[in-house]
Amino acid sequence: MAVRLYIVVPCYNEEEALPLTAARLRDKVQALVAAGRVAPDSRVCFVNDGSTDATWQVISSLHEQDVLFSGINLSRNRGHQNALLAGLMTVKDRCDVTVSMDADLQDDVDAIDAMLDKHAEGFDVVYGVRSSRHKDSVFKRSTAHFYYRLLHWLGVESVSNHADYRLMSRRALDGLAQFDEVNLFLRGMVPLVGFPSATVEYVRGERVAGQSKYPLRKMLAFAIEGVTSLSVRPIRFVTKLGMLILILAVVVAVVFVAQFVLGMTVPGWASTIVSIWALGGLQLFAIGIIGEYVGKIYLEAKSRPRYIIQDVLDAS
């Protein structure tokens, strides 16, 4: 039985890439419809995340030319994760399955066929996983592997080498809708939803147009968000580290007392200064980690909306 598919594509300043992306996705959806894989009223939904260029005008034009294309316009820029969630939550009652992907066409659209195959086998969530990272720089490849290992060590459920290219069934989307937190890290939240899941490997391509919207600064912020949104182990680590330093301080104090009794005391400014700087740095580091969690509690307590939708274009 053909399922009604919505492909959700978050967009921020993608006016250069959108015409190419739309053409490629139109061909893919039409091929899936012709093969009887998806219903004729399937859609491609572009979510404009408060772009400062003509992204929304391009989306509106695409919708006017072809009802295949839907559009959601957020009232302001809210970030990739919020824009993606806005798209998923808006279309979840209009479709049987969604596939989320980026607008730069680095995600191989032909992998959607394999995702639909997995869904037909009974899987509610199908993760698109990169088969290799040989095209990445050595720095990016090594830091990515380190980050995924760090997430697993911290107890965060995540799929290695998976970004936000995934298929989700309607009941999986209904499960995701029950997560009300403001601090979003969908790569860690989706596994928490449960339901049967599978993976599909694909080769990540080059960006079709424009520039990456994730420079190193944003990638680091996103990485910290992933850790602090889904794990409390950093705080426990600080507690254990503090206990260890306290034990070492007691041992050192005993050693100093013994040296004083034996007349072996040797004045040393260097050791004193190093100790002060080391403990001071550790304290600031601990305060920073605690502050990160307190800040998240503050944002959650305010319960501000994660996004506000200004316009919706959909022929459904």
**Beta pairing partners, 287:** none
Q: How far apart are CA 203 and CA 186, in angstroms?
A: 22
Q: How far apart are CA 100 and CA 96, in angstroms?
A: 14
| 186: nearest Cα among 87, 107, 93 | 87
- Each residue's pLDDT expressed in tens, for the chain with a length of 316 residues: 688 999 999 999 888 889 999 999 999 999 999 988 989 999 999 999 988 888 999 999 999 888 899 999 999 888 888 899 999 999 998 899 999 998 888 888 888 999 999 999 999 999 988 876 666 556 566 666 666 676 666 666 666 677 788 999 999 999 988 888 777 777 778 888 888 988 888 887 665 555 555 555 655 665 666 556 666 666 667 666 766 766 666 666 666 666 666 666 556 544 665 566 667 667 767 776 777 677 667 666 767 778 888 988 887 6
Q: What is the pLDDT of residue 239?
A: 67
CB contact at 8 A, 64 and 70 = no
| 224: nearest Cα among 151, 131, 116, 308 | 151
| Max Cα distance, the chain (Å) | 92
Q: How far apart are CA 15 and CA 209, in angstroms?
A: 9
Residue 97's contacts (CB-CB under 8 Å, 6 or more residues apart) are 3, 4, 5, 6, 116, 119, 167, 168, 169, 170
| 67: nearest Cα among 33, 41, 30, 90 | 41
Q: Which sequence spans correspond to the domains of the chain?
A: 5-230, 233-302
- Chain segment 287-302, per-residue pLDDT in tens: 767 776 776 676 667 6
| 170: nearest Cα among 291, 48, 58, 6 | 6
Domain 5-230 sits in which CATH superfamily?
Spore Coat Polysaccharide Biosynthesis Protein SpsA; Chain A (3.90.550.10)
CA 306 to chain centre: 15
The whole-model pTM stands at: 0.69
Using DSSP, state whether 125 is helix, strand or coil.
strand
Q: How far apart are CA 186 and CA 93, in angstroms?
A: 19
Using DSSP, state whether 35 is helix, strand or coil.
coil
- Chain segment 51-77, per-residue pLDDT in tens: 888 899 999 999 988 889 999 999 988
